[in-house]
Amino acid sequence: MKDAGPPTTHHHELNEIINAATPSSSELPASVMTSGISGHEHVEPEYELGIPPPTEKAGLKLIVPFALAQMALFIALLGPVTVSMAIKVTAVVGEGRAPAAQGLILGIGAIAALLGNPIFGRLSDRTTGRWGRRRPWMVGGSIGLAVCLFVIAIAGNVPTLIVAWFAAQLAANACFAAYLATIADQIPPQQSATVTALGGVMQSVGILAAVYLASALTSNMIALFMVPAVIGVAGMLLYALVLPDKRLPRRPPAAGLREFLETFWVSPRQHPDFAWAWVSRFMLILGSFMFTTFRFFWMKDEIGLTDATAASTVATGVLVYTVVLIVVGQTTGYISDRLGRRKALVFVSTALFAVGLVMLTQVHTVAGFYVVEAVLGAAYGIYMGVDLALVLAVLPHPEDNAKDLGVFNIANAMPQTLAPLLGAALLGVGAGQNYDLLYLTAAALTFLGALAIIPVKKVL
């Protein structure tokens, strides 16, 4: 699963720690081909279906369970990605075959994550049951994820792991697509940055908790997968109980093949603000992954660290990054809501991230690495505090919020596939490993992401 926001608090940073400490851990890649469909006309806007947009600020009774649900879901989903799956695969196939097997399992699962988010988002948008549009998918998806994690825990071969993880990603994205859409459903624009920033903070906390929880449960395979699974279900149930989910009074018009294909497409010609925001996110995530994918090897080759020292240094760097991100992100979200400004902060944060990537070319010490992690954490904290609020403001169709957020999630997922390929090609230019070219290219791409936000007109 990948965040419209970018799924975007850097679970890949934690994966680097595991890469150093275990023989089998990989990033969560994903790729997609969008349909070339032009036109995305919709006859009935949301208010015509009887669901007006939110105007009143949400209270703590809703916001606190929302934040806890974000943390709980990421504990359940990111535990397997960062630690648990590596342990399970090694137990099934042995250390020698584990890296290739895990890469296959996570790679196929990533396809489910990429496709599942917009598909289940569209289904959620069109749900007319008495339990609302979002609640059935949130609860059902979290329970489905728990069932799949149990199957993974008891699986004895790779094909079963592949099928179970593919299904787990579908279930998790059914849950997450509906969950994320509740922001647009329940949170008014003047409060959106504060709430989305809090969600991002709790996502980061969930990722850290997933790693440490998994590390504590390595001796019991069932507990390793099921304790996080139960936490995920409990978090979503709590949020579902307090969520004033909105029910469609009547069924939307029937969807045909064209509407299904449009699940993966938003016309950039008709909705340029959304397209520019998509490009901006894509470039930032691409630049970020070009760093984190090769960071461990850079620390060994350029700073001269051993495997063990590099692993512990990365762990400390991620902690520095996360602490700075949490403090800056929540503060920025509050300030953005108070000022009513989004675009300038997105530009500044993305440009600052590019500066941090350039700084890497001058770093030759561990202390310098920590400084860069702090800069990157501050940059992404600012970005996290405002970007999703900006995206919510430029969503094309209120009645398709979950689907359109799923399309935006492609900008989080696709770079994770492209970054390793592009990075490997850049490292091979010239003699030795060309890390300077890698990071300067990543910085240039990230800065293009900053420039891409300038044409957005709907948001200040």
183 closest CA partner among 58, 358, 328, 336: 58
Q: Is the pLDDT of residue 10 over 50?
A: no
Look at residue 352 in the predicted model and tell me its pLDDT. 98
Mean predicted confidence (pLDDT) in 308-322: 82
Residue 154: C-alpha distances to residues 61, 157, 174, 231 (Å): 38, 10, 24, 19
Residue 66: band (very low, low, confident or very high) from pLDDT cuts 50, 70, 90 = very high
Q: Is the pLDDT of residue 349 over 60?
A: yes
Write out pLDDT tens, residues 69-121. Answer: 999 999 998 878 767 888 898 899 987 788 778 878 877 887 887 888 888 98
pTM of the model: 0.71
Mean predicted confidence (pLDDT) in 65-69: 96
Q: Locate tokens 């600020």: which residue?
A: 57
Q: Is the pLDDT of residue 269 over 60?
A: yes
Higher pLDDT, 170 or 322: 170
Q: Is the pLDDT of residue 383 over 50?
A: yes
Q: Which residues contact 84 (CB under 8 A, 6 or more apart)?
A: 214, 224, 225, 228
Highest mean pLDDT out of 157-171, 247-261, 324-338, 420-434 = 157-171
Q: Is the pLDDT of residue 191 over 70?
A: yes
Residue 148: C-alpha distances to residues 153, 154, 235, 387, 460 (Å): 9, 10, 17, 32, 43
Residue 254: band (very low, low, confident or very high) from pLDDT cuts 50, 70, 90 = low
Kindly report the length of the chain.
460
30 closest CA partner among 289, 389, 292: 289
> Domains plus CATH for the chain?
11-30+58-249+258-452 (1.20.1250.20)
Q: Is the pLDDT of residue 36 over 60?
A: no
Q: What percent of the chain has pLDDT over 90?
A: 39
Q: Locate tokens 């398709």: which residue?
A: 400
Across the chain, mean pLDDT equals 82
